[in-house]
Amino acid sequence: MTDVLAVANQKGGVAKTTTVHSLGVASAELGRRTLVVDLDPQACLTFSLGFDPDNLESSLHDVFVRRQSVAEVALAVPGVPGLDVLPSTIDLAGSEVHLLTRTGREHVLARALEPVLDRYDLILIDCPPSLGVLTINGLTAARSVLIPLQCEALSHRGVGQLLETIEDVRAFANSELNVRGIIATMYDDRTKHSRHIFEEVQTRYGIPVLQPPVRKSIRFAEAPARGKSILQHAPNSPGAQAYRALAASLLEPGVVAGAPI
């Protein structure tokens, strides 16, 4: 069965896109056929994968307005065999208005992905930094949620709101949805504050913090400008090694259960 993971946190700048990109590449390296879905109108994932969103002929927006199918829009990622992207453009911002008029609007992405589920072992959904209709679509389409968490107070505060939204999605749209865990990003174990947040979040929310944490590195900032992930740009760096370890643990056969909410 295809594993579908939504990567979500309504706070921006917590490495959602970096996490989707890195886990997608790591999954493909492990021989899994992988699709990453750029659900953010800012199209940062699409750009980071080496595509110019301004020059794409079609995107996820065309899927939402029923002009094209996922199979027609998905693109193979250059240099990463086994990895495809369902790209975004700024047009996706208009999809939010369109979806609000659709019956069963929270299920549109899930239904669009159904015909291609047998093509992939893993689908990763990069949700936008909001709790709007696009994120709801991502959560409804997913089996599990990964929450990237920057180990600082403002990022920490948003987890409770996200969990409330996930509970609503479970009640009304996707009863099987669970939280796979939190990924600690931009972690700096030299600071007491980072260590405190890292230790507190699992106790407060009862959600596993996946190991290892992803430590801060300038390599993460350098990679997107080259259209590459950190696994390609700095394959031996601690960040690359952390995402490979996370991907291996997430993709272990039979490991699909997550924390209840």
- Residue 130 falls inside a structural domain: yes
Q: Which residues pair with 36 in a beta bridge?
A: 85, 124
Burial class (CB in 10 A: 0-12, 13-18, 19+), 103: exposed
Q: In the chain, how many domains are there?
A: 1
pLDDT of residue 14: 86
Per-residue pLDDT of the chain (261 residues; tens, 9 = 90+): 899 999 999 888 888 999 999 999 999 999 999 999 999 999 999 999 999 999 999 999 999 999 999 999 999 999 999 999 999 999 999 988 888 888 889 999 999 999 999 999 999 999 999 889 999 999 999 999 999 988 665 556 678 888 999 999 999 999 999 999 999 887 766 666 666 667 777 788 888 889 998 987 777 878 777 878 889 888 999 899 999 999 999 876 444 334 444
Which helix (H) or strand (E) element contains residue 196? helix 192-205
CATH number for the domain that contains residue 245: 3.40.50.300
- Residue 261 falls inside a structural domain: no
- Residue 203 falls inside a structural domain: yes
Contact of 34 with 28, CB cutoff 8 Å: yes
pLDDT of residue 157: 67
CA 210 to CA 2: how far, in whole Å?
21
- Residue 255 falls inside a structural domain: no
pLDDT of residue 137: 96
pLDDT of residue 29: 95
- Residue 257 falls inside a structural domain: no
41 preceded by a cis bond (ω within 30 of 0): no
- Residue 38 falls inside a structural domain: yes
Query: 188 is in which domain, residue-wise?
Result: 3-250
- Residue 137 falls inside a structural domain: yes
Contact of 22 with 228, CB cutoff 8 Å: no
pLDDT of residue 159: 83
- Residue 221 falls inside a structural domain: yes
